[in-house]
Structure 1
């Protein structure tokens, strides 16, 4: 005896989509981890210039808000046991330092980047889509800064203005990194248009 499936559903396709999502999330989490080997100390607060923050935004731009958030969450979860954060730190160690706010910012920025990016008309208007990706990337970066500022105010007893001033050395490097991530995301969406449609079907 078989049970009829609701009209319009396809369990096999749903399982394939879930497996594909897991693969995408794993790949991007691995990319973020690998980029943790690059860290350049700068600024009076001792917060390094890293590539991981840009890679988290890239995950959101490419995968969308849910998969992007899942990628950032898995990356931080792995960091609970292994030193995968920039500078060879664990998530637990970072939670006790000045960079705690940036970890929260990673989660928020991945979600924000994906939420904005997936409103882009990738198939019908690539110019507008690129503009939306630009907005998504830099709004996501702003949230990383914002939560980073709150973390520094908490851990270092800095004023709001002083904590924002500590971000200045990172503005240009981060702007360049995010521009690169936006270009990569635009190329990925152009080459793999099913990325967005698969997420919508799921």
Structure 2
């Protein structure tokens, strides 16, 4: 069973990493800070929402590891080139955000309303982490002060909000279709009814 679980985790991580890489083809330059609008940041948050913290972390790590040799980042960039430029902070956020997003998401209650609220909160926290890391990166790599670095992210708020809404809707749909994805065991009170007569017969 453990081998099957590991194989499943590898498959999930590989699929989401491939999704993140495919979305590298979407890159829209915005503003003067050299940071484009991309879909990869939302895909990494989605990985955390769907796969949880541990597997979400692995998606971020594998994605950037492949980027050391391949142009998998938005606009055809590599990890090393991104770390040397103004987007360095965002790249660090790509590792942290899916992990934290997943840790929060996988603590969601079973009911639909609670699940929706928790996943939304998790997505917001994930995006906040990306922005925070990005701000630090802009200050270090571009020499911007704190106010200017924060202001450079304003243009991304509306499109990123739209992306988060879509990510949360997708994650809710996935968890609704695959309720066992979070690895939760059924509650004792929800044990199959067929087991009760057997227990009575043995009494």
- Does the TM-score normalized on the shorter chain lie above 0.5? yes
Task: Report the 3-state secondary structure (helix = DSSP H, G, I; strand = E; otherwise coil) of the residue aligned with 1:27.
Answer: helix
Q: Which has the larger radius of gyration?
A: 2
C-alpha distance in structure 2 between counterparts of 1:197 and 1:47, whole Å: 37
Q: How far off its partner does 1:102 sit? A: 0.3
Report the TM-score when normalising by structure 2.
0.90
C-alpha distance in structure 1 between counterparts of 2:181 and 2:24, whole Å: 26
What is the aligned counterpart of 1:159 among 126, 136, 145? 145
Aligned pairs for 1:101-180 (under 5 A) are: 101-121=89-109, 124-180=110-166
Task: Report the 3-state secondary structure (helix = DSSP H, G, I; strand = E; otherwise coil) of the residue aligned with 2:183.
Answer: helix
Aligned pairs for 1:43-62 (under 5 A) are: 43-62=31-50
Structure 1 vs Structure 2 CA RMSD: 1.1
Q: How far off its partner does 1:44 sit? A: 1.4
Q: Is the 8 A contact 1:79 1:91 kept in 2?
A: yes
Q: How far off its partner does 1:193 sit? A: 1.1
Q: 5+ unaligned residues in a row in structure 2: which ranges?
A: 186-203
Residues matched between the structures, number? 185
C-alpha distance in structure 2 between counterparts of 1:157 and 1:46, whole Å: 13
Counterpart for residue 74 of structure 2: 86
Deviations 1:32-58 (A, max 9, x none): 000011000001112100000000000
C-alpha distance in structure 2 between counterparts of 1:142 and 1:65, whole Å: 16
C-alpha distance in structure 2 between counterparts of 1:57 and 1:43, whole Å: 23
Deviations 1:131-152 (A, max 9, x none): 0000000111000000000000
Runs ≥4 in structure 1, deviation > 3 angstroms?
none
C-alpha distance in structure 2 between counterparts of 1:42 and 1:156, whole Å: 16
Report the TM-score when normalising by structure 1.
0.90
Q: How far off its partner does 1:198 sit? A: 6.9
C-alpha distance in structure 1 between counterparts of 2:181 and 2:95, whole Å: 21
